[in-house]
Amino acid sequence: MFDSVYGNERLIKHLKNTVSTGNIGHCYLFHGEKGLGKRTVAKEFAMAIMCQAPDRPCQRCSDCVRIMREDHPDVHFVQHAKAVFSVDDIRDGLNREIVNRPISGSRRIFILDDAELLNTQAQNAMLKTIEEPPEYATIMLLSDNRDALLPTVLSRCVELSLEPLRDSQVKRALRGEDEQLQEAAVRHGGGNIGRAKRYLEDEAYREWVDTLGKILRALPDSDIVQLRRAAASIGTDKDRLIEMLSQMQRWFSGLMKTKALGEGPDIGCATEYSYEDFPRIFAAIENFSTRMKVNVNAELSLLLLLQEACPARN
């Protein structure tokens, strides 16, 4: 049961309990960083609700298989037509659809992934539905940013958060021949299976990550010319920049720990920084993330960020 979900023992225990008591809620919010497996958990939960086998979800019956393939007639994935969810997406995909009774079983499930892309009007449009859905319906919102949801939406959801895994758990989830590459993927994943898998499987992504790693390692010795070159090689693609911020965050957290312990593979780099540098760098990362949302000149902001991320020279 819940075999394809790694770690998150408390969450799984809660869901198993919910299924075995039959006390299934009307609206759930699964939240946590991208790559932690929210969609997998939601599908397993849906399977557990729909499956008729004694040890559910059995992963073999037609309900389970169809949910896995995302073509079950009573398990809907609410889609957005454009970059964000609009009022129309919610009206057509959820509000109008949810009043139809189940086709094959006794329940209907609506899964809405990337719920952070619901604009305010769309969220308001779904309020009444998530407050009083038909008794046969369960709605699952999935999001990597719960702060993007209105308090009125949050208050109607059972919130469940997915946590990063231990390295040993990530390692078990990865398949591959190359031991060294696998180790690097586990390190890069930092408890996130999705990120580790992507590193293992997507060569272009891996090259970009490794380039960024080299840039971060070289910061203490970089002058402005090298920083400009570094900024140019990172680029201004928004998804990549989000990924970069997360990698920087993890790099500097690790570096701070290495400095405190006085040992580790990056001790040479860590000693170049003083303890006063770290709060400034974390603030700069936060600041860049905020500026990205208002679409300022990414190239210039990136250069400023890299400058801030160098050790302060007296």
SS3 158: strand
Going 303 to 305 to 307 to 310, the CA torsion angle's sign is: negative
Please report how close the Cβ of residue 28 comes to Zn ion at its closest, in angstroms: 20
Of residues 241-260, which lie at the interface with Zn ion (CB under 5 A)?
none
Which of these ranges, 45-53, 138-146, 246-254, 296-304, lies near Zn ion under the rule CB under 5 A?
A: 45-53
Q: Residue 3 burial by CB count (10 A; 0-12/13-18/19+): exposed, middle or buried?
A: exposed
Which of these ranges, 61-69, 163-171, 213-221, 286-294, lies near Zn ion under the rule CB under 5 A?
A: 61-69
Number of H helices, E strands in the chain: 15, 5
Question: Is 51 near Zn ion (CB under 5 A)?
Answer: yes
- Residue closer to Zn ion (CB basis): 24 or 53: 53
């469940």: which residue's tokens?
160
Which of these ranges, 44-52, 121-129, 183-191, 262-270, lies near Zn ion under the rule CB under 5 A?
A: 44-52
The number of residues that bind Zn ion (CB under 5 A) is 6
Q: Residue 248 burial by CB count (10 A; 0-12/13-18/19+): exposed, middle or buried?
A: buried
Tell me which of 12, 18, 34, 53 binds Zn ion, using CB under 5 A: 53
SS3 41: helix
Please report how close the Cβ of residue 221 comes to Zn ion at its closest, in angstroms: 57
Rounded CA gap, 209 and 53, in Å?
44
Which of these ranges, 49-57, 74-82, 141-149, 301-309, lies near Zn ion under the rule CB under 5 A?
A: 49-57
Question: Is 65 near Zn ion (CB under 5 A)?
Answer: no
Question: Is 64 near Zn ion (CB under 5 A)?
Answer: yes
Rounded CA gap, 159 and 147, in Å?
12
Q: Residue 82 burial by CB count (10 A; 0-12/13-18/19+): exposed, middle or buried?
A: exposed
- Residue closer to Zn ion (CB basis): 44 or 89: 44
Tell me which of 61, 68, 150, 292 binds Zn ion, using CB under 5 A: 61
Beta-sheet strand order (sheet of 108-112): 75-77, 108-112, 137-143, 27-31, 158-161
Question: Is 292 near Zn ion (CB under 5 A)?
Answer: no
Question: Is 46 near Zn ion (CB under 5 A)?
Answer: no
Please report how close the Cβ of residue 76 comes to Zn ion at its closest, in angstroms: 19
Please report how close the Cβ of residue 199 comes to Zn ion at its closest, in angstroms: 32
Residues paired with residue 28 on neighbouring β-strands, in sequence order: 140, 158
Please report how close the Cβ of residue 111 comes to Zn ion at its closest, in angstroms: 17
Rg (alpha carbons) of the chain, rounded to whole number? 22
Question: Is 19 near Zn ion (CB under 5 A)?
Answer: no
Tell me which of 12, 24, 58, 127 binds Zn ion, using CB under 5 A: 58
Chain residues in the site for Zn ion (CB under 5 A): 51, 53, 57-58, 61, 64
